[in-house]
Structure 1
């Protein structure tokens, strides 16, 4: 596969923070960017885990007749 170089302008702080993050994952920053770009152009018929989870949730959702309000949701 032929490759090309890509130049992007990012702040030093952003680059350094992401280099540290990539290192924690055992990857290079270049590898992280390449994977990000590849995910953006994956085949539309391939579903991400999030898409699969949403589809599963919608198929298996049940209405039990109970609703809650904001106050109940925030009770501790």
Structure 2
């Protein structure tokens, strides 16, 4: 990780073995600089929120708090 909760702090990211479900730990970063603790916390909060929905959904997160959520309306 680039740094901990604050830029002067060190951090580590531990991953459980044999995790099958979607998680930040099983994701692949495609580009950009290394993530910080706050980046990972925000990403995890967003993913866990979206996983609550059965239909496609999107969430905006700041400081691990969802501040905007939407989902696809399924018309019958």
Q: Which has the higher strand share?
A: 2
Q: Which has the higher helix share?
A: 1
TM-score (structure 2 length as normaliser) = 0.29
